Amino acid sequence: MKKICFVCLGNICRSPMAEFVMKELAIKDDFYIESRATSSWEHGHPVHRGTQKVLQDHGIPYNHFKTSKQVSLDDISSFDYIVGMDKQNVKDLKAMFPAEFKSKIFLFIEEGVPDPWFTGDFEETYHLVKKGCSLWLEELRNDI
Ligand code: 4NP
């Protein structure tokens, strides 16, 4: 089973949005999909209200009990794809883990996903997340 983990700074806004959008898009695929943070700042905190609202607005189901978790060495060992939501996330991931894991670390989408924690624009985030998840879905389906 292919395993993909989306990673952002706090794991409360962008990466959980990607996790739940991807789970919905890939509902019939045999993929394991999770999300994590590069930081421990939001550890144990629930998904941001803005992300919850945008998921509800677009009819995307999500786990109300999901809480922020920092990415670990176990995660980077076990997932096939570790996908940073912006360029800084990718840079941080590459700095956090041994060089042997670099080939598993990817950027979610070329333009990156601006952080709605700062922009306040969760709808913009949703559209980029939807676009990126569709591209990743093709990638995972084509990677045999
Ligand atoms: P996220 O957004 O990385 O998309 O989950 C953030 C959440 C929290 C913080 C920064 C970004 N923070 O500074 O606590």
For the CA atoms of 113, 128, 60, 90, the dihedral, rounded to the nearest 10 degrees, stands at -30
pLDDT of residue 131: 98
pLDDT digits (tens, 9 = 90+) for 77-135: 999 999 999 999 999 999 999 999 999 999 999 999 999 999 999 999 999 999 999 99
36 is catalytic: no
pLDDT tens across 2-49, in order?
Answer: 999 999 999 999 999 999 999 999 999 999 999 999 999 999 999 999
Ligand 1 site residues, Cβ closer than 6 angstroms: 8-14, 41-42, 115, 117
Within 10 angstroms of residue 88's Cβ, the number of other Cβ atoms is 14
State the pTM of this model: 0.98
The per-residue pLDDT for range 1-13, each reduced to its tens digit, is 999 999 999 999 9
Say whether 14 is catalytic: yes
Atom of ligand 1 nearest to the CA of 8: 3
Amino acid 143: pLDDT? 87
Mean pLDDT, residues 46-62 taken together: 98
* Structural domain span for residue 58: 2-142
Of 5, 13, 86, 115, the catalytic one is 115
Q: Which two tokens stand for residue 123?
A: 């709808």
- Total number of domains in the chain: 1
CATH number at residue 42: 3.40.50.2300
